[in-house]
Amino acid sequence: MERDRQENAKFLGDFDELFDIKNSTEELALVENLAVTPAEVYPISIESVMEMIFTPGEIYWKKKSGKLIKVLRAGEAVDVKAVTKFKERKMDLAIKWMSSTEMVDLVSGHFEQLKNAINELERVELRKKILEWFKESYWRADKKANFLDLTQIGEKVFYTFNEEMSEILKGTSQMIFERAALVGTIGVFSALALGHTDFKTLQDIYGLCYLFDFAFDKNSYSFNLNKATELERAAPGDGVAFLIVGEDTGPELGPFMQHTFRGARLARERCGKFFHSEGILKNITIHHERINGNGFPLRINEDEMSDVEELIIFLNSVIPYRCFNYELNDAKGFFKKIVYESEVFGLNESITKRFKKMIIKVMEGIGAEENPSPIPSIVEATK
């Protein structure tokens, strides 16, 4: 067990590097002080910013003196109330674009075509196009790659929550909300690789990733629960152990242990209208499961899981609960890394052999043949 934890810690260290997460105050200060020049920013209206769910770059307040003050991080969930204040104060805003509009529009266009496709042949061809694009940067690392492009595609194509629900989700935890934007979009590309070409299913998988911890709200989601969530993700059992105080069970252990079932029930009651199929919401119950049975609450194992369940466990295990620094990170080849190297870093419990084999087969094969790749069935991929 101790060895597993050490390996997990090493894995997390590598993930910090992969996502370029800065932990020390000195490093944070260094990032904050990276100077932006006027040539790098473009004027943007406050109204345009208010329409964004997540920022596609850094937003600055351009003072009369010309000095630029960062007011929103890249990939930050836009707080409409805060931006309204910018409007009241008649602040001039400017943006340093960090996601590629051209790239986001191109891939979003493919997804829109997928949405309107009328036959399976068309869907298969679009799946190939989308996965080829994804492979180039996020698997094979041939091109510069940006996590922000992914979150922007997700927002543009798949986001369905209305303003009221968005505020509720952001209110519980801005960090979880922003993380979901990344987890959900990676979920869409993974599901597509697994052979899900139905647009509605992809959209439902994206939305589901925002609701894993829906049982908590802004009043109940405490510092301790936040910490337990990340500890549990990194090493099953650690989050639960953290909430036990002395000889007694701490006050937050019960809500934590119950949040998967409770979250699924609440999501059905309040969020069903944002989904094509409410049935997808039952997957909230399994987001803390692990394939070796070390998770909770059901301790299910690999043989009892559907491919969507395997996907949810994979996504929720490998992406840390932290704010990402979209300014400095490079997403080149990251998807291949998290699929291949989970084994090396001791996170075997996060990815089933079947899922891993399937993803590798599809990602290595896509674009490698002249004819459109057929969608392999899971059975075929595991032979």
CB of 107 to Fe ion, least distance (A): 29
Q: Which is nearer to Fe ion, 213 or 327 (CB)?
A: 213
The DSSP bridge pattern shows strands 57-62 and 244-245 to be: unpaired
Residue 133 vs 212, nearer CB to Fe ion: 212
Nearer to Fe ion (CB atom), residue 128 or residue 287: 287
- Report the residue closest to Fe ion, judged by CB: 213
Provide the minimum distance between the beta carbon of 76 and Fe ion in the complex, in angstroms, as a whole number.
22
- Count of residues engaged in binding Fe ion, rule: CB under 5 A: 1
Rank residues 213 and 289 by Cβ distance to Fe ion and give the closer one. 213
Provide, rounded to whole angstroms, the least separation between the CB of residue 238 and Fe ion. Answer: 13
Residue 201, Cβ density class (10 Å: 0-12 exposed, 13-18 middle, ≥19 buried) = middle
CB nearer Fe ion, residue 155 or residue 213: 213
Least distance from Fe ion to the Cβ atom of residue 249, Å: 18
For tokens 């679009």, name the residue: 126
| Amino acid making up residue 322 | R
Could you say which DSSP state residue 301 is in?
B
If one asks whether residue 289 binds Fe ion (CB under 5 A), the answer comes out as no
Per the rule left: phi > 0, alpha: psi between -120 and 50, beta: everything else, 333 is left
237: left (phi over 0), alpha (psi -120 to 50) or beta: left
Q: Find, among 304, 355, 341, the residue nearest to 193 by Cα.
A: 355
CA dist 201 to 130, 204, 206, 301, 336, Å? 16, 5, 9, 24, 23
The H or E element that residue 166 is part of is helix 163-172
Minimum CB distance to Fe ion, residue 252 (Å): 13
CB closer to Fe ion out of 126 and 228:
228
Residue number, 196 or 259, with CB nearest to Fe ion = 259
Cβ–Cβ < 8 Å for 101, 336: no
The structure tokens listed for 336 are 């291949």
In whole angstroms, the minimum distance from the beta carbon of 199 to Fe ion comes to 27
Nearer to Fe ion, 149 or 213 (CB): 213
Within residues 209-268, the interface with Fe ion by CB under 5 A covers 213
**114 vs 42: CA distance, rounded Å:** 33
In the complex, least distance from residue 371 CB atom to Fe ion, rounded to whole angstroms? 43
Q: Going by C-beta distance under 8 Å and a sequence separation of 6 or more, which residues neighbour residue 213? A: 172, 173, 176, 221, 229, 259, 263
Catalog residues that contact Fe ion under the rule CB under 5 A: 213
